């Protein structure tokens, strides 16, 4: 085996190792995100962000305040982390966007919904949750960002095979 083939194989093995570790959830968050990129061409900063704070910044905010005017419904225990039903209703005036985040997913942000005038600040959908972690409902109003959280226990993790 000549030197360049050996180098290519070593680099490939390294990358494959990183990907496997990433998929197994054994890396720190920053490395996990690097090992689990979004689809080619998807460079949306809010979807690349790793934490609630980073998502809020990427969406143009400063910091999010906890709010009891956001109703977040999700199961306490999700039997299947690949299909977790989530319902969010905002009682905050001037709700413009509703977003769903999972604290320990490879990337924190799952979805963002833009609510035009005339549409109720209510969303029901289903998301993947990788492991037991906090689920966040993030609401953007005219006055800033607010959130509610709920711990969701996951028995069968949602993001991989």
Partner 1 sequence: MADPMRIRATLTGDVVEVKVLMSHPMETGLRKDADGQLVPARYIRDVKVSCNGRDVLTAEWGPAVSKNPFLAFRFKGGKAGDTVSITWTDTAGDSRTDQAVVG
Residues in touch with partner 1 (CB under 8 A) = 19, 23, 36-42, 44, 46-47, 82-84, 102, 105-107, 109-116, 118-120, 122-129, 158-161
Token pair 């990129």 is found at: 37
C-alpha separations of 101 from 3, 43, 51, 112 in Å: 46, 18, 9, 9
Tell me whether residue 9 or residue 16 sits nearer to partner 1 (CB atom). Answer: 16
Whole-number Å distance between alpha carbons of 72 and 148: 7
The least distance separating partner 1 from the CB of residue 63, rounded to whole angstroms, comes to 22
The least distance separating partner 1 from the CB of residue 102, rounded to whole angstroms, comes to 6
Chain-centre distance for alpha carbon 158: 12
Tell me whether residue 6 or residue 119 sits nearer to partner 1 (CB atom). Answer: 119
The least distance separating partner 1 from the CB of residue 2, rounded to whole angstroms, comes to 27
The DSSP line for 4-36 is HHHHHHHHHHHHHHHHHHHHHT-S-HHHHHHHS
Tell me whether residue 47 or residue 144 sits nearer to partner 1 (CB atom). Answer: 47
Burial 56-72 (b: 16+ CB within 10 A, else e): bbbbeeeebeebeebeb
Tell me whether residue 122 or residue 141 sits nearer to partner 1 (CB atom). Answer: 122
The least distance separating partner 1 from the CB of residue 118, rounded to whole angstroms, comes to 5
Tell me whether residue 112 or residue 153 sits nearer to partner 1 (CB atom). Answer: 112
Chain-centre distance for alpha carbon 161: 18
φ and ψ at 29, to 5 degrees? -55, -45
The least distance separating partner 1 from the CB of residue 3, rounded to whole angstroms, comes to 28
């Amino acid at each position: 085996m000549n030197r360049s083939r050996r180098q290519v194989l070593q680099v490939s093995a390294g990358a494959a190792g990183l990907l496997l570790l990433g998929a197994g959830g054994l890396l720190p968050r920053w490395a996990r995100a690097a090992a689990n990129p979004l689809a080619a061409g998807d460079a949306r900063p809010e979807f690349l962000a790793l934490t609630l704070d980073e998502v809020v910044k990427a969406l143009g905010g400063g910091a999010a305040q906890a709010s009891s005017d956001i109703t977040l419904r999700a199961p306490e225990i999700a039997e299947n982390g690949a299909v977790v039903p989530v319902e969010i209703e905002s009682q905050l005036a001037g709700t413009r966007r509703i977003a769903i985040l999972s604290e320990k997913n490879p990337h924190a942000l799952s979805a963002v919904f833009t609510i035009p005038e005339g549409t109720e600040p209510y969303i029901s959908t289903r998301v993947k949750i990788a492991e037991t972690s906090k689920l966040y409902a993030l609401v953007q109003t005219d006055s800033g960002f607010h959130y509610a959280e709920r711990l969701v226990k996951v028995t069968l993790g949602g993001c991989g095979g």
